[in-house]
């Protein structure tokens, strides 16, 4: 089975799961990571920023590269290039058919492919003919609100040769509002023979256990629940493997990891450490003094500034 030994997965999140974020999640227990979604079209133009999205951390033995687009030949050609460049460090090529963002779906990419299942299946067939590594697909319950198409879509992906699918339990038109329906994950699992990964609203180890029990999914994929909370992977692993929760991190551990995150970004990304601002907001959420310090976070642009703010919060919360 494709995900044997890799039941706890970090979801691809645009603007979030760069190499540093993925490294910290691996160190806390994530068993497989996905890159941020990569534009096949931009790769075909050899766009440097797009190529940077596939840079791996030293902690990553293998990674799934998620690509998006709607042109089968372009996507297949770029998948083959990714395979050649990454070699054995590539786990799978994943096709994004679930992103609801207007700038993606509005161009016919991401979740818009759920409205054109014939094209979606052709993309999978073309990729399967171009690469030796597994090809997987991530999609949603459906595109239009209350129009559930995921079961038929999953069957089409399986027939086209997909090696596994990941299902997010919301409609694309919901974006991230409301609650994910895990029932659709169970229905897809019953409908197809290839592995199914469950995604949506896993915020703790207990949630992961419940999803597996309710859906029978082969692996769980954690996205927003990991934002500012890499420790979720330790908790999920502990509850799935041993039936007990992992100890919650202390305030000292939270701020130490936040500082490490900022340090790694400053070392590897230079001026791009400003991307730490969103991570910092997540790390400090719920702490005493967090509302007061958010404005300072939005002005921080060096490791020293971020570290000072985390130290300040540490003192306020001891």
Annotated catalytic residues are 99
What's the token pair of residue 240? 């799935």
What's the token pair of residue 276? 């730490």
Instruction: List phi, psi (to 5°) of 308.
Output: -60, -40
Strand partners of residue 90: 63
Nearest of 223, 226, 137, 116 to residue 188 by alpha carbon = 137
Residue 216, number of CB atoms within 10 A of its CB:
13
Nearest of 65, 18, 10, 73 to residue 38 by alpha carbon = 65
For 151-180, b where at least 16 C-beta lie within 10 A, e where not — what string?
bebbebbbebbbbbbbbbbbbbbbeeeeeb
Instruction: List phi, psi (to 5°) of 141.
Output: -60, -30
């Amino acid at each position: 089975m494709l995900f044997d030994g890799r039941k706890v997965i970090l979801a691809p999140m645009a603007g979030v799961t760069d190499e540093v974020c993925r490294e910290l999640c691996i160190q806390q227990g994530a068993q497989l990571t996905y890159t941020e979604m990569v534009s096949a079209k931009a790769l075909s133009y050899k766009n440097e920023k797009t190529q940077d999205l596939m840079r791996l951390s030293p902690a990553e033995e293998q990674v799934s590269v998620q690509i998006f687009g709607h042109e089968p030949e372009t996507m297949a050609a770029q998948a083959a290039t990714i395979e050649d460049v990454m070699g054995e460090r590539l786990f799978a090529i994943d096709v994004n058919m679930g992103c609801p963002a207007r700038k993606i779906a509005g161009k016919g990419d991401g979740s818009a492919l759920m409205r054109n299942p014939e094209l979606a299946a052709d993309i999978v067939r073309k990729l399967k003919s171009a690469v030796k590594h597994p090809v997987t697909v991530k999609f949603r319950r459906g595109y239009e609100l209350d129009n559930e198409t995921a079961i038929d879509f999953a069957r089409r992906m399986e027939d086209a040769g997909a090696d596994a699918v990941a299902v997010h339990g919301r409609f694309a038109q919901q974006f991230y509002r409301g609650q994910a329906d895990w029932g659709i994950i169970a229905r897809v699992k019953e409908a197809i023979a290839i592995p199914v990964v469950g995604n949506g609203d896993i915020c703790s180890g207990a949630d992961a256990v419940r999803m597996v029990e309710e859906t029978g999914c082969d692996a769980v994929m954690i996205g927003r629940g990991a934002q500012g909370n890499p420790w979720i992977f330790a908790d999920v692993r502990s509850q799935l493997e041993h039936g007990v929760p992992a100890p919650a991190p202390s305030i000292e551990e939270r701020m130490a990891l936040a500082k490490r995150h900022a340090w790694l970004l400053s070392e590897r990304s230079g001026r791009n450490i400003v991307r730490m601002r969103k991570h910092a907001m997540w790390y400090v959420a719920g702490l005493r003094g967090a509302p007061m310090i958010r404005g300072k976070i939005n002005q921080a642009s060096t490791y020293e500034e971020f570290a000072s703010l985390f130290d300040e919060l540490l003192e306020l919360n001891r």
